[in-house]
């Protein structure tokens, strides 16, 4: 039976130990990534690239770059969620996004040019540090989407920032404008789900009726 949203949210936790022998089926993994692709992003630009590592040797090579956290080798796969800062130029994200949205949404030439100009004006004026921060924010949203769609299928995950981005880039041979931002191992838990600790509702939620 399908899980309710409440069950999905309660199922997800930061899994520290995965059953290394239990693998996610290829078709299921494909579906998870396909749904993750639907995550929202600022202006819809999708400044991200998701690298799905199932190769055992590559996972082993990644582990030292992730402070040897056990999830990296134990998980069925490791999704390295990267921010893209290659927005400008003929091969940049913006150019491709303008073409894609024109094709998908049927914009006229004029609408498309004006959309492209609006995107360039607001995004290409950012410094490289601002652009990186902006792109990374989008990646975190996609990370949450990935963890929830995984949970719905009974697949465990762990959001991870505990890695050295430069080393991860080196292992994966990434271009400098593809920036590892959040690593999400996926698989099946090999541990009890711990009790959650959270601030009480009234500490976190302030209602203005």
CB of 94 within 8 A of CB of 46? no
CB of 187 to ligand FMN, least distance (A): 14
CA torsion, points 29, 34, 36, 39, in degrees to nearest 10? -170
Residue 84 sits at the vertex; the CA angle it makes with 80 and 88, to the nearest 5 degrees, is 165
Contact pattern for ligand FMN over residues 42 through 81, marking x by CB under 6 A: ---------------------------x------------
Cβ proximity to ligand FMN, 1 vs 205, nearer residue: 205
**What is the chain's Cα-based Rg?**
19
Distances (CA, A) of 131 to 41, 45, 83, 139, 173: 13, 12, 10, 13, 22
* SS3 state of residue 204: helix
Tell me which residue has its CB nearest to ligand FMN: 162
CB of 15 to ligand FMN, least distance (A): 8
CB of 151 to ligand FMN, least distance (A): 11
93-111 exposure pattern, b = at least 16 Cβ within 10 A, e = fewer: bbbebbeebbeeeebeeee
Task: State which of residues 11, 13, 18, 48 lies at the interface with ligand FMN (CB under 6 A).
Answer: 13
Q: What span, in angstroms and rounded, lies between the C-alpha atoms of 40 and 37?
A: 9
Cβ proximity to ligand FMN, 156 vs 177, nearer residue: 156
Contact positions with ligand FMN (CB under 6 A) in 151-170 = 158-162
CB of 60 to ligand FMN, least distance (A): 18
CB of 182 to ligand FMN, least distance (A): 6
DSSP letter for 44, please: G
CB of 41 to ligand FMN, least distance (A): 17
Task: State which of residues 9, 14, 113, 133 lies at the interface with ligand FMN (CB under 6 A).
Answer: 14
- Site residues (vs ligand FMN, CB under 6 A): 13-14, 16, 69, 158-162, 196
């Amino acid at each position: 039976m399908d899980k309710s949203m409440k069950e999905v949210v309660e199922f997800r936790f930061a899994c520290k130990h995965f059953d290394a022998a239990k693998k996610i089926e290829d078709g299921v993994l494909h579906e998870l990534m396909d749904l993750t692709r639907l995550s929202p992003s600022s202006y819809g630009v999708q400044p991200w690239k998701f690298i799905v590592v199932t190769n055992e040797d590559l996972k082993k090579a990644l582990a030292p770059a992730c402070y040897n956290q056990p999830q990296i080798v134990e998980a069925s796969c490791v999704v390295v969620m990267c921010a893209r800062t290659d927005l400008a130029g003929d091969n940049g994200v913006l150019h491709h996004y303008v073409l894609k949205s024109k094709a998908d949404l049927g914009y006229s030439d004029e609408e498309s040019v004006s959309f492209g100009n609006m995107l360039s004006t607001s995004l290409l004026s950012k410094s490289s540090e601002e652009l990186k921060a902006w792109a990374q924010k989008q990646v975190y949203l996609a990370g949450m989407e990935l963890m929830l769609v995984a949970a719905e299928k009974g697949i465990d995950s762990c959001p991870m920032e505990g890695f050295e981005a430069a080393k991860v880039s080196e292992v994966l041979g990434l271009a400098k404008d593809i920036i590892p931002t959040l690593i999400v191992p996926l698989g099946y838990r090999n541990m009890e789900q711990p009790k959650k600790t959270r601030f009480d509702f009234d500490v976190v939620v302030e209602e203005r009726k």
